[in-house]
């Protein structure tokens, strides 16, 4: 999906998850991280999911992200097949608004960890940023890029505050 051998696999349980999981792709493009997006289900294609998880490390992957909705077992199942860090993103699907997926993702029994993110787009974006942070442990340029990214976030907040103050002044409030 991005040039080079993928350092991150971004799994999702269904193509219906793609509009949210695309947040990951956007972050990896900003940081120039090679990644691969994969649709594979813990329930509907269990053997394929297991094989991909088992082979990820051998293929040079360093971090795995897994987004799934409903009875979201994808991140946990992948984590059971690899010792690479696995980041789970609970997605909204069906009647319970993502709470089902959040609890499925976050409540891993002791021994096989999954780093659980927030529900939905914020979680997908943060999953990618956390993956970048993990990769930056061994990459000074990436670490510097992360610092710059945070500075830009701060600058955006200040700019929004200034815009609000200007607006209030103009309206005499
Ligand atoms: C989960 O079931 C997927 O991750 C998706 O969020 C949900 C519904 O899948 P579809 O019925 O839309 O394919 O496994």
Across the chain, the runs of DSSP E, i.e. the strands, are 8-12, 35-39, 63-69, 86-91, 115-116
CB neighbour list of residue 156: distance below 8 Å, 6 or more residues apart? none
pLDDT for position 29: 98
Residue 46, phi then psi, degrees to nearest 5: -65, -40
Q: 103 pLDDT exceeds 50?
A: yes
Judge whether residue 42 has pLDDT over 70: yes
Model pLDDT, residue 150: 98
Q: Mean pLDDT throughout 126-146?
A: 98
Is the minimum distance from the CB of 17 to ligand 1 under 6 angstroms? yes
**Residue 41 Cα: closest atom of ligand 1:** 14
Q: How far is CA 173 from CA 160, 162, 170, in A?
A: 17, 14, 8
Task: Give the pair of three-digit tokens for residue 151.
Answer: 């500075």
pTM: 0.95
Question: By alpha-carbon position, which residue is closest to atom 3 of ligand 1?
Answer: 13
6 Cα to the center of ligand 1, angstroms: 25
Residue 68 CB less than 6 A away from ligand 1: yes
> For residues 116 and 88, is the Cβ–Cβ distance under 8 A?
yes
Q: Tell which atom from ligand 1 comes closest to the C-alpha of 68.
A: 4
pLDDT for res 31: 98
Q: Could you tell me if the CB of 90 is within 6 A of ligand 1?
A: no
Burial 8-30 (b: 16+ CB within 10 A, else e): bbbbbbbeebeebbebbbebbee
């Amino acid at each position: 999906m991005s040039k080079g051998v993928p350092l991150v696999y971004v799994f999702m349980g269904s193509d219906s998850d793609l509009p949210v999981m695309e947040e990951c792709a956007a972050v990896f493009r900003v940081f120039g991280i090679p990644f691969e997006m994969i649709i594979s289900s813990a329930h509907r294609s269990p053997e394929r999911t297991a094989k991909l998880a088992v082979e990820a490390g051998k293929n040079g992957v360093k971090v795995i992200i897994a987004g799934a909705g409903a009875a979201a077992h994808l991140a946990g199942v992948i984590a059971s097949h690899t010792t690479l860090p696995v980041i789970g993103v609970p997605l909204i699907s069906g009647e319970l608004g993502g709470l089902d997926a959040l609890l499925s993702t976050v409540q891993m029994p002791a021994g096989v960890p999954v780093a659980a993110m927030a529900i939905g787009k914020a979680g997908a974006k943060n999953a990618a940023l956390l993956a970048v942070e993990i990769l930056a442990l061994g990459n000074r340029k990436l670490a510097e890029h992360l610092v710059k990214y945070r500075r830009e976030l701060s600058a955006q907040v200040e700019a929004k505050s200034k815009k609000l103050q200007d607006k209030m002044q103009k309206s005499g409030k």
